[in-house]
Amino acid sequence: MTVQKKLGGTFTLSSTSTNLYRMGYGAMQLAGTEVWGPPRDVDAAIAVLREAVAAGVNHIDTSDYYGPYVTNQIIKKALHPYPAGLVIVTKVGARRGADKSWIQALSREELIDGVHGNLRNLAVDALDVVNLRVGGVMAPSEGSIEEPLRVLVDLKHQGLIRHIGLSNITPRQLREAQTITEIVCIQNFYNVANRSDDAFIDALAQQGIAYVPFFPLGGFTPLQSSVLDRVAASMQASPMQVALAWLLQRSPNILLIPGTSSINHLRDNLTAAALELPSDLVAELNAIAENARAAAQPAH
């Protein structure tokens, strides 16, 4: 194991002066069970945020629909007034039902309300980056995103949003979006076992657009998990650390937002930035997705 650059090195968002350490922090798990209501220990959640920033993390991912409102209010309590250089990335395009469901919220009124809710609960005059969340819960769905995107562009022109990103989208939707406004980041489901965005990531890297994968351990089969466990044991690391390290080595435009409500888990996650996977283990991890694709092919 060799030490890499601090927190995986840095990445500058396209057409901006915003320089982010590649290992960030995702605030979703600061809310209660099922991302609903307050956590059992608000002081512990505050301590995790302060520890992350003290370690150098300058990229926090959140949304006003986490809780709802809970994570943003905890972020404000823990970190406001915010340190110079801290970038808070939020999302709009969904809301929570009374039954804890996740409901699409892409009307003009819902998007405007979502932006103003984030502004209010984070106690800022402008949001650093707002991701427009479209598609399904885990995957994109084709279709025009022009109408909701133009709402965010209007809010950007009003000075309420500095930069715009997209979540749960396809390459075609990105191309449509780029005819309307500058896009600085994409947030989609991707990990060592679920690699449908491989070509997309490479294309984004050529454009200097950040790719922020969510669920780094999501959707693994038991067999795939066993491969990850074996590699992790050989590195004397945890499966999560190996999954995060693989993502950092996958492409220089990948930024990570692992979330946790535990300081010990936070430290473990940040340590993954210093984990360098040798080429033979990278090949073994790459085979996880390759074997899954082969198994999915119809027999001839």
The catalytic site residues sit at 66
* DSSP alpha helix (H) spans, 58-192: 70-79, 108-122, 146-157, 171-178
Scored b (16 or more CB within 10 A) or e, 168-182 reads bbbeebbebbeeeee
Q: List the structure tokens of 211.
A: 């790719």
Contact between 152 and 116 under an 8 Å Cβ cutoff? The reply is no
Q: How far apart are CA 95 and CA 114, in angstroms?
A: 9
Q: List the structure tokens of 218.
A: 């999501």
Rounded to an integer, what is the distance from CA 26 to the centroid of its chain? 7
* DSSP alpha helix (H) spans, 24-128: 42-54, 70-79, 108-122
Of 205, 161, 158, 160, give the one whose Cα is nearest residue 186. 205
Q: For the chain, how many residues are written? A: 300
Contacts of 18 (CB under 8 A, 6+ apart): 12, 87, 128, 163, 184
